Amino acid sequence: MSLKKISVNNQDVFCGADETVLDALLRENIDIPHACRQGACQSCMVRSLQGSPPAAAQEGLKDVLRHQQYFLACMCHPQQDMVISISPPADLFTEAKVIEKRLLNAETLLLKLECDKSMGYYAGQFVNLKRADGLSRSYSIANNRLHANKLSFHIRRLAGGRFSEWAHQELNVGDSIAVSDPQGLCYYLPDNQQQNLLLIGTGSGLAPLAGIVSEALHHGHSGDIHLFHGSRDMDGLYWIEEMQQLAQQYANFHYTPCVSRGDAPQGVAKGRANDLAMTMLPRLKNWRLYLCGHPDMVHQAKRQAFLNGAGLQDIHADAFHVASATLD
């Protein structure tokens, strides 16, 4: 068997028939995280940028990782020349321009960017936004994949938050900002369009869920789609009319806005989003779940969903770490 060329970080390494990709990289003193060398720790996970890696090198990885061509270098005996990336997506940036900025509610900003290149993201992923002085924060993408070079974000103003305060008060239409390559495993895959979906979010956790819903409906998802969006009070909710109109347009999409405190007007449920969802949908076997928002809600909803029959491999979560410890 001939040598296979592995291109990484503008360097070519040749892998022998009895070597793994990890062996070849280490032989050439290329820095790559690794530990067990047996595929258990997954610390040597890298990404193929050209073609699919061997199936054996993807065993044990989540479907969303396999879908993005990630593989374990220690388990990969290349069958062809490969181009791979060791650098995490967070380290790779492209320039973008602000094309729209408006408030969704008193504390949440809708920010739309147009990127210099197509971003190749999946609905529900997140990116790092970085300003000129290097300060960066992670925000979920709120739109589907129809416009690959345009991204929307819901940026909640946090008291004392250097980035969010700047975005709300100083960032203007026409300004430039750096955007990292997409990251995250909490996104929609059109591989099982009959599967029922449950999406639960609090606060600006609606952002990735709205993108997932839009993507699923665009692909003609036929299973039921239930979205629960929660906040402490009505001031924390937004896009109610838009989601209600979407529910009227698609018979399989069901939307429930929730408030945990104060009065709930007609059409809004009283209670925490995760509690209401689990009460209304007590049998979740074979459902796929997306949980986004406050870490306490995400952790509670994971446990509740498992007790309601959901498989752990079907629970996709993205906890938003914020300064407040209060559960919405």
Tell me the per-residue pLDDT of 294-328, one tens digit each, with 9 for 90 and over: 999 999 999 999 999 999 989 998 877 554 333 43
* R_g (Cα) of the chain, nearest Å: 21
CA distances from 3 to 181, 224, 286, 301 (A): 31, 50, 44, 49
- Which pLDDT band, with edges at 50, 70 and 90, does 213 fall under? very high
Q: Residue 93 contacts by C-beta under 8 Å, 6 or more apart in sequence?
A: 128, 130, 178, 179, 180, 181
The β-bridge relationship of strands 150-156 and 108-115 is antiparallel
pLDDT in tens, 263-304: 899 999 999 999 999 999 999 999 999 999 999 999 999 999
- Which pLDDT band, with edges at 50, 70 and 90, does 36 fall under? confident
DSSP assignment string, 216-237: HHHTT--S-EEEEEEESSGGG-
24: pLDDT strictly greater than 90:
yes
Taking Cα atoms as reference points, which of 138, 218, 143, 214 lies closest to residue 179?
138
90: pLDDT strictly greater than 70:
no
Taking Cα atoms as reference points, which of 318, 88, 276 lies closest to residue 188?
318
pLDDT in tens, 173-195: 999 999 998 888 788 988 899 99
CB neighbours of residue 27 within 10 Å = 13
- Which pLDDT band, with edges at 50, 70 and 90, does 222 fall under? very high
As a whole number, mean pLDDT of residues 3-20 equals: 93
CA 240, chain centre distance (Å): 22
As a whole number, mean pLDDT of residues 118-122 equals: 86
Please state the φ and ψ torsions of residue 37, each to the nearest 5 degrees: 60, 15
Quick one: pLDDT at residue 199?
98
- Select the more confidently predicted residue: 91 or 82: 82
89: pLDDT strictly greater than 70:
no
Q: Residue 112 contacts by C-beta under 8 Å, 6 or more apart in sequence?
A: 98, 99, 100, 101, 150, 151, 152, 153
Quick one: pLDDT at residue 190?
86
What domains are defined for the chain? 4-85 (3.10.20.30), 89-180 (2.40.30.10), 197-319 (3.40.50.80)
Sheet holding 82-85, edge to edge: 11-15, 4-8, 82-85, 45-48, 70-72
- Which pLDDT band, with edges at 50, 70 and 90, does 1 fall under? low
Instruction: Determine the longest span between alpha carbons in the chain, in angstroms.
Output: 71
